[in-house]
């Protein structure tokens, strides 16, 4: 399978078989990931590799006990890391000025680029991955478990393993929903409905609506999956944690 077909056919894999991932393969994939673009060549990221079952059990509650955390042979926590770069500056008679929000965002972008490059490289070697969005929700607890110092913030987590089976691809909106030529063209209500019609008509999405007692798929998102109350709570936790790690 060539690169474009690999990307076109990617799937999130949450269930893995018992085949182990060798240190040699994992290090090869991480080395490839570290070739991702990085701001100014600073490499503002670190990756914590978790193989130990006890450590997976400790991490599991921070990811809302998703089974993929404890069943995956490897769990990778990708961290925005200005700690290493600041210490290099200080050891080199240079005065760092990276205790600010723009620096955190720079490191976060670097980290996400590395995570996705790892994901693609892993799939090219026959592995499957699952992103865990819960990392930012419970960053303080994850940082404590992983002993993260100041200026290091967990941004995303990947569970990694050989797929137990190959699930169906999750739907995507048609490409015209996300492309704007020259300038952003805002959506009318009619156009929004057109672009989401196929997604809303899928049996699995109609089932989500019915089992949650809602009128529309959008209500499943706003009232069940990503509520205002939860968003505001985790936003506050995230902002306070970023500040506590040294980014003002």
Domain residue ranges of the chain, discontinuous segments joined by +? 3-167
Q: Give the class (CATH, top level) of 3-167.
A: alpha beta
pLDDT at 231: 97
Q: What is the per-residue DSSP string for 127-140?
A: -EEEEETHHHHTHH
Average pLDDT over residues 200-217: 96
Over residues 71-129, the pLDDT tens digits come to: 999 999 999 999 999 999 999 999 999 999 999 999 999 999 999 999 999 999 999 99
- Residue 59: what pLDDT? 98
Instruction: For 155-178, write each residue's pLDDT tens digit.
Output: 999 999 999 999 999 999 999 999
Residues 6+ positions from 29 with CB-CB distance below 8 Å: 118, 121, 122, 125, 127
pLDDT band at 33 (very low <50, low <70, confident <90, very high): very high
Tokens describing residue 74: 């490897």
């Amino acid at each position: 399978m060539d690169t474009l077909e690999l990307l076109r056919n990617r799937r999130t894999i949450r269930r893995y078989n018992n085949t182990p991932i060798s240190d040699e393969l994992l290090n090869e994939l991480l080395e490839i990931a570290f070739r991702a673009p990085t701001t100014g060549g600073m490499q503002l990221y670190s990756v914590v590799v978790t193989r130990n079952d006890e450590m997976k059990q400790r991490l599991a509650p921070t990811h809302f006990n998703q089974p993929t955390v404890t069943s995956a042979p490897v769990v990778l926590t990708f961290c925005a890391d200005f700690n290493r770069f600041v210490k290099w500056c200080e050891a080199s008679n240079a005065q760092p000025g990276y205790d600010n929000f723009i620096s955190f965002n720079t490191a976060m972008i670097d980290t996400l680029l590395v995570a996705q490059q790892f994901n693609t490289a892993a799939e090219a070697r026959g592995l499957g991955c699952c992103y865990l969005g819960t990392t930012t929700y419970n960053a303080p607890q994850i940082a404590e478990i992983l002993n993260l110092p100041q200026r290091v913030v967990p941004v995303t987590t990947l569970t990694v393993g050989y797929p137990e089976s190959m699930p169906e691809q999750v739907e995507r909106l048609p490409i015209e929903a996300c492309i704007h030529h020259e300038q952003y063209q805002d959506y009318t209500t009619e156009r929004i409905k057109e672009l989401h019609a196929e997604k809303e008509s899928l049996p699995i999405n109609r089932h989500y609506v019915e089992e949650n007692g809602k009128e529309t798929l959008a209500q499943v998102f706003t009232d069940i999956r990503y509520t205002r109350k939860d968003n505001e709570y985790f936003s506050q936790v995230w902002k306070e944690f970023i500040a506590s790690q040294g980014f003002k």
